[in-house]
Amino acid sequence: MPTRREQARAETTEKILAAARAQLAEVGAAALSLRAVTREVGLVSSAVYRYFPSRDELLTALIIEAYDAVGAAAEEADSGDTALARWVSVWRAVRRWAQENPAPYALIYGSPVPGYAAPADTLPAAGRVATVLARIAIEAGGPVAEPPPAVRNALAPDLLPGLTADLAPAAIAAFTQLFGTVGFELFGQYENVVADRDVFFDHVARTAGAACGL
């Protein structure tokens, strides 16, 4: 059981994160202010630094939180009678999460925050959606087009266990298509272009899945 001090620290940390989420939705990541968050929570300026020593550390916590949330949505949606059904279900879950959480989505897949560089400890959370999609494609084991040698050599080796050199380019392209399509819709790039977003999204998902052998 956590001690009373540990419980109080956890509660204060959550209050800080909640205030930061609200500010993120209101002004965006680039304008996120640790001082403004401090005022919202009711702490003195010196106190908040015991929880988050800098704005960048607060951003990192929000980024990991967002990656974990969309990753959990993808993992929970991995179900269906066929590999393609599982694949489309995961794509839909990512899109639904983005629609329900536009500010966190913009934080992790929108414009970079000036002056901020994400540390390596964000990588495990950032890879959760990709891991789900790669697992589906690997388990399906369907045929994929053999990429040219230059494309093979363009990718880093050993990206994920079981991801072959033939499958990797299609998988990375599919991952890019997923978040590109979601982002285009979320940020208004499909206005006067795509009338039925649901139908078009599923088409992109299935086309990307076919390229991955589903």
DSSP for 120-151, written as a single string? GGGHHHHTHHHHHHHHHHHHH----PPPPHHH
| Residue 187: partners with Cβ closer than 8 Å, 6 or more residues away | 106, 110
Neighbours of 178 (CB within 10 A): 24
Q: Which tokens belong to 137? A: 């494609």
pLDDT in tens, the chain (214 residues): 778 777 877 888 889 899 999 999 999 998 888 888 888 888 877 778 888 888 899 999 999 999 999 999 999 999 999 999 999 999 999 999 999 999 999 999 998 898 999 999 999 999 999 999 999 999 999 999 999 999 988 998 888 888 999 999 999 999 999 999 999 999 999 999 999 999 999 999 999 999 999 9
Q: How far apart are the first and last CA of the chain?
A: 47
Is the pTM above the cut of 0.75?
Answer: yes
- Say how far apart CA 21 and CA 137 lie, in whole Å: 34
Give residue 79's identity as a one-letter amino acid code.
S
Give residue 19's identity as a one-letter amino acid code.
A
**Taking Cα atoms as reference points, which of 29, 34, 180, 177 lies closest to residue 106?**
29
- Per the CB < 8 A criterion, the answer to whether 209 and 138 are in contact is no
**Taking Cα atoms as reference points, which of 6, 178, 206 lies closest to residue 94?**
178
